[in-house]
Structure 1
Amino acid sequence: MDERVMKYLIDIDNSIAEIEGYFQNIPKEFNSYRQNTMLKRAVERNLEIIGEAVKKVLKRDEAYINKITEAKSIIGLRNLVIHAYDSVSDENIWAVLINHLPKLKSEIQDLMTQN
């Protein structure tokens, strides 16, 4: 594996770990998330990093499009958070955290161990 790709995979893994860490002392409940602006911004920033790292992985090796489920959607979310911040809904971000982040974490960790 290209060492730059590994670096980006590590960045993704670290961002996911940061997001998970935010909920160690805060209930992982939608209303707690929705009411905490600092938490929302921290989560959104890490989602930006994840999206950018996925974009860079694909730029270095297009084969990862088949190894990272929803890679294009991850990049799309990054673009939405950065460029259309005023249309980001708490519900959509929460759905990503609950429904998609666990799978991405598993895929990224599998890819990192294949090296």
Structure 2
Amino acid sequence: MTQRDPGVYLEDIEYCADAAVRYTAGYSLAQYLADDKTRAAVERMLEICGEALRQLDRAAPDVASRIPYTREIIGFRNILAHGYAELDHHKVYAIAVIHAPELLAAVRTTLKEFPEP
């Protein structure tokens, strides 16, 4: 199996964190809870963030360590992927609105260290 460049994982995280932020922009919690399509899209984007970070941590732990809350993000990905019955939509919303922008900023800062293809 060919190992991907760490920058590619970071780009995946950047895209998906940005999408989660965009999908919830202007949404109140009540609007978010009432919109099952948006909930599903946000959950998927956050799941991909966690999986890409998990893969980045395996391929380049030194790079992954620059992203705050790596373990927590990976753990939340596991809840999204495997623990859907216990999923708290209030928590997902808070993560998308509060923490995804923080993740996005950290990833963008880290991406500056990688040359453009």
TM-score by length of 1: 0.89
Cα displacement (A) at 1:64? 3.1
* Letter paired with 2:30: N
Deviation at 1:61, TM superposition (A): 1.4
Q: Tell whether 2:21 aligns with 1:20.
A: yes
Assess if the C-alpha contact under 8 Å between 2:21 and 2:101 holds in 1: no
What residue is the counterpart of 1:4 in the other structure? 5
Deviation (angstroms), 1:100: 1.0
Alignment match, 2:99: 100
In the TM superposition, what are the counterparts of 1:34-53 in structure 2 within 5 Å? 34-53=33-52
1:94 Cα shift? 1.3
The sequence identity of aligned pairs, in percent, is 25
Could you list the per-position Cα deviations for residues 39-96 of structure 1 after superposition, in whole angstroms to 9, with x for gaps in the alignment?
0000000011000000011001122343011001100111001101010111110121
Distance of 1:52 and 1:77 partners within structure 2:
10
Structure 1: where are the runs of 5+ without partners? none
Structure-2 residue corresponding to 1:110: 109
Cα distance in 2 for partners of 1:100, 1:20 equals 9
Q: Secondary structure at the match of 2:5?
A: helix
* Residue 54 of structure 2 corresponds to residue 55 of structure 1: yes
- Which amino acid in the other structure matches residue 52 of structure 2? A
CA contact (8 A) 2:20 2:100 kept: no
Separation (CA, whole Å) in 1 of partners of 2:14 and 2:63: 16
* Aligned match of 2:31: 32
Q: How far did residue 111 of structure 1 move?
A: 0.6
Paired residue total: 112
TM-score in terms of structure 2 length: 0.88
Q: 1:3 to 1:81 in 2, by over 3 A?
A: closer
1:67 match: 66
| Structure 2: tracts of 5 or more residues without a match | none
* SS of residue in 2 equivalent to 1:58: helix
